[in-house]
Amino acid sequence: MKLNVRKTGSGSPLIILHGLFGSADNWMSIAKELSESYTLYLVDQRNHGDSDHSDEWNYKVMAEDIVELMDEEGLEKAFVMGHSMGGKTAMFVALMHPDRVEKLIVADIAPRYYPVHHEKILEGLNAIDLETVSSRKEADDKLAEYIDETGIRQFLLKSLTRKDGKFAWKVNLPVITEKIEIVGEGIDGEGSFDKPTLFMGGANSKYIQDKDRADMDRYFPNNHLIYIKDAGHWLHAEQPAAVIETVKAFLGE
């Protein structure tokens, strides 16, 4: 699996993993502020961004993708941070290969199972006829029939590109549509990751709840939970300064 990676900065390695429908670009503004202290590896996970597409798509293979990337880059260990789906991938990396992760940061996701809640997004994306759509405006108009929020549509349409004179999705939309259940998959196993772990939630988000503490403590016994004020699920976009300050403090700059 060939992953597209944006590498920047200098210092201890920090791998950053985006969420569903996202890409490495989602974390570029954060990376700029961290690049003086860390070597950042901003990864497009498989079936996203400019990374390879594959019919095989689950957290175990996405975690192995990251370990293979570390091997290719000669990284014995790294700090690993992930948001939402990327946070789940990061948790799987830490649990499957605890010796390769120095510290773990999980942004606004817990280890539990989450019911599928992306039906409207998938309906909207699949409703865009790439054979006939002639402009991004036309694609946005079609998506607006399913999704009211302009910001969400703009985020999703970042994955729309041109290829051979036609529009195409960077995300592997057929596989994501077919296997969307895997995104909600919970941690299920006997192992644990005993090194420092930060769960960083958005104060206005419902992704990390009181009921999640038991699973967090079970799998990540050396964990700390903080909430970013005035932030929802997209905490790194809504409160970037607070996220940067929190990451630096946790990693020990």
Last residue of one domain, picked from the residues 136, 162, 178: 178
CA 83 to mean position of chain CA atoms: 4
b/e for 2-31, b at 16 or more Cβ within 10 A? ebbbbeebeebbbbbbbbbbbbbebbeebb
Residues 87 and 14 in one domain: yes
Residues 84 and 125 in one domain: no
Residues 20 and 103 in one domain: yes
Three-class secondary structure of residue 60 per DSSP = helix
Cα four-point dihedral sign 123, 149, 83, 209: negative
Round to whole Å and give the CA distance between 92 and 145.
Answer: 36
* Edge-to-edge strand ranges of the sheet holding 5-9: 5-9, 38-43, 12-17, 78-83, 101-107, 197-202, 223-228
Residues 9 and 88 in one domain: yes
Are the C-beta atoms of 5 and 41 separated by less than 8 Å?
yes
Residues 27 and 73 in one domain: yes
Round to whole Å and give the CA distance between 11 and 103.
Answer: 15
Q: 40 forms bridges with which residues in the sheet?
A: 8, 14
How many Cα atoms are found within 13 Å in the side-chain-facing hemisphere of 79? 24
Please give the residue range of the domain that contains residue 70: 5-113+185-251
Residues labelled catalytic: 84, 233
Residues 9 and 103 in one domain: yes
For the stretch 78-108, pLDDT in tens is 999 999 999 999 999 999 999 999 999 999 9
Residues 38 and 96 in one domain: yes
Are the C-beta atoms of 4 and 69 separated by less than 8 Å?
no
Last residue of one domain, picked from the residues 178, 194, 211: 178
Averaged pLDDT of the chain: 95
How high is the pLDDT of residue 116? Answer: 86
180 pLDDT tier (thresholds 50, 70, 90):
very high
Residue 253 has pLDDT above 70, yes or no: no
State both tokens at 101: 């992760």
Residue 188 has pLDDT above 90, yes or no: no
1 pLDDT tier (thresholds 50, 70, 90):
confident
Region 23-30 average pLDDT:
92
Short-list 150, 148, 130, CA closest to 139: 130
For the stretch 189-236, pLDDT in tens is 879 999 999 999 999 999 999 999 999 999 999 999 999 999 999 999
Q: Which residue has the tokens 């300064």?
A: 241
How high is the pLDDT of residue 165? Answer: 83
**In whole angstroms, how far apart are CA 195 and each of 27, 66, 68, 203?**
24, 18, 21, 25
Last residue of one domain, picked from the residues 159, 178, 197: 178
CA 38, 42, 43, 44: dihedral to nearest 10 degrees? 180
Q: Which residue has the tokens 């809504």?
A: 238
How high is the pLDDT of residue 164? Answer: 82
Q: What count of other Cβ atoms lies within 10 Å of the Cβ of residue 94?
A: 26
Number of structural domains (the chain) is 2
Residues 205 and 159 in one domain: no
Are the C-beta atoms of 34 and 248 separated by less than 8 Å?
yes
Residues 19 and 105 in one domain: yes
**In whole angstroms, how far apart are CA 141 and each of 147, 168, 170, 215?**
10, 17, 19, 42
Supply the CATH number for residue 59's domain. Answer: 3.40.50.1820
Region 43-64 average pLDDT:
97
Region 11-36 average pLDDT:
94
Residue 33 has pLDDT above 60, yes or no: yes
